[in-house]
A and B are shown apart, each in its own frame.
Chain A
Amino acid sequence: MAEKIKFGFLLAGGCAGCEMALVDMSEKLLDALGHLDVVFWAPTVADVKYKDLEAMEDGYIDLAFVDGMIRNTENEHTVKVLRQKSKTLVAFGACASLGGIAALGDCHSQEELFSQAYKDTFSTDNPDGIYPQPECTWEGKYDLTLPAFTNRVSTIDQLVEVDYFVGGCPPHHDFIAQLVQAIVSGNLPAKGSWLTSGKAVCDICKRNPADHDQKRLPIGEVFRTVDGRPDEDKCLLQQGYICFGPVTQGDCGASCLNVNIPCRGCGGPIPGVRDYGARCVSTITSSLKDDETAEEFVKKFNDMAKFCYRYSYSAGILNQKLTPGK
């Protein structure tokens, strides 16, 4: 048998859903471990410490996954170390690749986030308006410290060079099994690519009008999911239920569509898209019949930034400077 691939897995600022996705592979994970020598998997490995990671030679790890976004200085540090120690680094899942849901916090100031949580919430009892403090002396004698909150979320590739990107919140465990197989057989695209089938959710979706010899027609009405029950066999977008399937990678097997719920883009942008949210807006609005329908769209979804950038706010170019060549 070929030599095992030295594999590392780091949870940065994510929710551990990507870790659970690997665990959910169950039997397939057993097969995968036949090809992978797990040399680092924090925070869930019994006998490898961060300092062991730091002690490894540069490039010791053949392949490393990072899930979660960069949210604090510790994430920054460990991701940088992992980059140094790994030949190939994969940003694994929507948070690592795009920023994820948590990045929506960047739509607000730190003061807004704190005052909501510690002052304004209905059940909060805070007569002195206290915020958690990085350093405090409690009851005059106990010195206690907390890490300071950082208020900017970033993707892994905004910090270090990333070789491959994987979408999904989390990636589906069946897709992960395919990925592992591709990796083991050395069947990988050029560095900097997304690891994806390259197909959009619509290409996978069994509702696609093209599969039923139907034309796509301009959308004359816009619906939220509470507005009605869509036909379970027809394209949601054609029925007016805003769905991001056309611009999202379909490595999920169109799973949300399978239960009659529209796509919201966790799979990441289809190849060639620089800014997911911008492409969403252009794709959806260009599908609408007329200005009246466009106005209805804006009225029904008036949180357009949080709607279209739901999983990709950090990776978008809103509020960011574009560096030439980047």
Chain B
Amino acid sequence: MSKVTELLKKAVGMCRGQIKGESKVKKIEINPMTRLEGHGKIAIFLDESGNVDDAFFQTVEFRGYEKFLQGMPIEEVPRTVSTVCGVCRAVHFLCSMKASDNVYGVTPPPTGRKLRELFYSAHTVEDHTAILYALGFPDFVVGPDASPAERNLIGLINAVGVETGRMVLQKRSLAVKIFEILGGKPNHPVAALPGGWSKRLSEEERAQIEKWSEELVELGKLTLQVFEDVVLKNPKYMELVTGDMYKVEVGYMASVDEQNRFTLYDGTQKVIDAKGDLVGTFTGKEYLDFISERVLPWSYLKFPYNKKLGSWDGIKSGPDTNIYCVGPLARMNVVDSMSTPLAQEHFEKFHNTFGLKPVHYILGYHWARAIEILAAAEKCLELSRDPEITGSDTWNKPTSCTGEGVGIIEANRGTLIHHYITDDNGIVQNANLIVSTTHNNAPINLAVKTAAKHFIKDGNVSEGLLNHVEMAFRPYDLCLACATHTVTAGQLPVEVNIYKSDGEILRQMKNF
């Protein structure tokens, strides 16, 4: 095996583990195996005739950031709250930084704002790339019915070639380098200031970043080419991409700029219902007019719903649901267009392919993610060529304290909200975090249930169940780490145990 393949195998393979599920009558438990208490688990209940009665995706961790951030100066929060997740390495940092702007009633000067945006665009490229190549593509390249042993990054590398794999790794690392130059550290960065950015960019650094950004654009193009060759040109896969077992009909929420275009760093939140009709737009604290989070006793993760569309009505899909989702697919459904030329071409192709807007086919998340790599890379290049980016004025000093701030950012996995109350000195008194994966909690439950219903009929559990249930939650790029303000790493290994009515195991299926 080549070293690259070996490296990728070690770096981004699938997690493994073992768990003992409790035997229950007509209960199928799908337990991620990595760490017994470290991920989500899935329980499927069958009715008398052996069909799916209900299914639950449970999140099993909790940490408590919203409490222990209290007492900390708000400007110390970004570098602290970044540790919610080491994969989403920029988003909690930037979101709390935006909240700190509000707390001190200060906006960054143009250079400061552009540095933030360049930093975030670089992060988007590296994060989406890691996720797509490690978790998204293998399902298609190797095939959803292949054995899990092959249906991973290794199989992908074998399919696209080792040289391509090496190139992807190298180009991704350039995005991390840009991140480090601007943020101070390659992970859990520090350069955020209320009202701006602590790091000034030298001309030498700018020129370097411009060169690297050109390569990132190439990475974006390559990624979309892989998607086209492997998925779009394969009728069998397109049946899956547009198949009802991967359709979840809910509303959507994402940021838009003044022209209703795609934006990641800053914008207005636009909310549409499952029919695609506008429910409303909001900024800042107005999120409380739209979002409520229900607590249910069987998950550590709360269940947000759109309260403009009525009070809590359970986890339901359909044209009248008040459940909504966020992330790359939501962004494709909410924006009118992209803000960069190359990504726009692919955006048009995306919608021409699906035909109807909003697109409720969740495998579209992967395609959307690929388009966003290109969009973020184009943004990096655009900003690296902006004459203002090397300006010396990167910070507006706070002069007063408003005592409250809400930060909203389109994180890679979807809308992220940080809300802080402080005293007159900017010391945090109260905090509320609503995280991307939390918004998607109910939709993930719906996706799993839909897939389970498709693959379990009259007590017969199809061999494909495991793969397909995995494929149902993978598009959402679960970050349970973020969601519960605690941590888990990317891949979810899954074991399905099917018990006979006497409690004896009938069959066991694993993806490891």
Contacts and interface: CB of A to CB of B under 8 A. Distances in A.
A13 B170 contact: no
Contacts of A306: 68, 71-72
B37 A74 contact: yes
A50 B71 contact: no
Interface stretch (A122-130, A184-192, A212-220, A316-324): A122-130
A313 B3 CA distance: 40
B71 A123 contact: no
A249 B294 CA distance: 44
Given A20-B89, A27-B170, A302-B427, A259 B190 contact: yes
A89 interface: no
A78 B154 CA distance: 26
Tell me which of A38, A41, A46, A260 has the highest count of chain B C-beta atoms within 10 A of its own C-beta: A46
A30 B4 contact: yes
A202 interface: no
B66 A228 contact: no
Contacts of A183: none
Contact of B302 (A124, A141, A225, A228): A124
B116 interface: no
A46 B13 CA distance: 4
Given A23-B11, A29-B7, A44-B15, A143 B27 contact: yes
Interface string B137-170: 0000000000001001110000000000000011
B491 A44 contact: yes
A contact residues, range: 35 or more
Contacts of A250: none
Nearest to A23: B11
Contact of A42 (B17, B186, B199, B200): B17
Contact of B434 (A38, A78, A123): A123
Contacts of B24: 143
Nearest to A68: B487
A65 B12 CA distance: 17
Contacts of A44: 10-13, 15, 489-491
A136 interface: yes
Interface string A112-127: 1110111011111110
A49 B17 contact: yes
Interface of B: 3-4, 6-7, 9-18, 22, 24, 27, 33-38, 43, 45, 54, 56, 58, 60-64, 66-68, 71-73, 75-76, 79-80, 83-87, 89, 104, 130, 149, 152-154, 169-170, 172-173, 176, 180, 182-188, 190-191, 193-195, 198-200, 287-288, 291-300, 302, 304, 307, 312, 395, 397-398, 419, 425-427, 430-432, 434, 481, 485-491, 493, 512
21 contacts: A14-B86, A15-B84, A16-B487, A16-B490, A18-B86, A20-B86, A23-B130, A38-B10, A41-B10, A45-B16, A49-B16, A104-B68, A112-B67, A122-B432, A144-B58, A147-B37, A224-B73, A226-B75, A228-B397, A255-B185, A261-B184
Interface of A: 11, 13-24, 26-27, 29-30, 33-34, 38, 41-52, 68, 72-75, 78, 100-102, 104-105, 107-108, 112-114, 116-118, 120-126, 130-133, 136, 138, 141-147, 149, 169-170, 172-173, 224-226, 228-229, 232, 252, 255-256, 258-261, 264, 266, 300-303, 306-307, 310
